[in-house]
Amino acid sequence: MNKIIGFMFLSAMIYMVIPALTSEAGMRCTTDFFGKTRCTDYESGLDVTQDQDFFGDDVYRDNNTGQTWKCRTDFFGDYVCD
């Protein structure tokens, strides 16, 4: 059950973080010199950081809870997160 809820939360985060070129009311995304993107939603309090690790995997971190997810494209071309 926790994995399902985590996956749903991660899907929502990806939906909000990936299209960083578009802006929604209350959402602010910034990218620093190292390519780390941080998005904050002032209405819901969501604060997410997206970065890449040494292997090229996307790493998402919820700055409120400290929970992290690693996502990558597998052999079949699916984007999987754990």
The predicted-structure confidence for 18-65, as pLDDT tens digits, reads as follows: 555 555 567 788 888 888 889 888 888 888 998 988 988 999 999 888
Answer whether 71's CB lies under 8 Å from 18's CB. no
The residue ranges of every structural domain in the chain are 2-18+27-81
Question: DSSP per residue over 41-81, as a string?
Answer: ETTT--EEEEEE-TTS-EEEEETTT--EEEEEE-TTS-EEE
pLDDT bin (cut points 50, 70, 90) of residue 13 is low
Tell me phi and psi for residue 17, to 5 degrees.
-85, -45
Higher pLDDT, 30 or 1: 30
What is the Cα–Cα distance from 15 to 29, expressed in whole angstroms? Answer: 13
Read off the pLDDT of each residue in 63-81 and give the average, rounded to a whole number: 90
pLDDT confidence of residue 76: 93
Three-class secondary structure of residue 5 per DSSP = helix
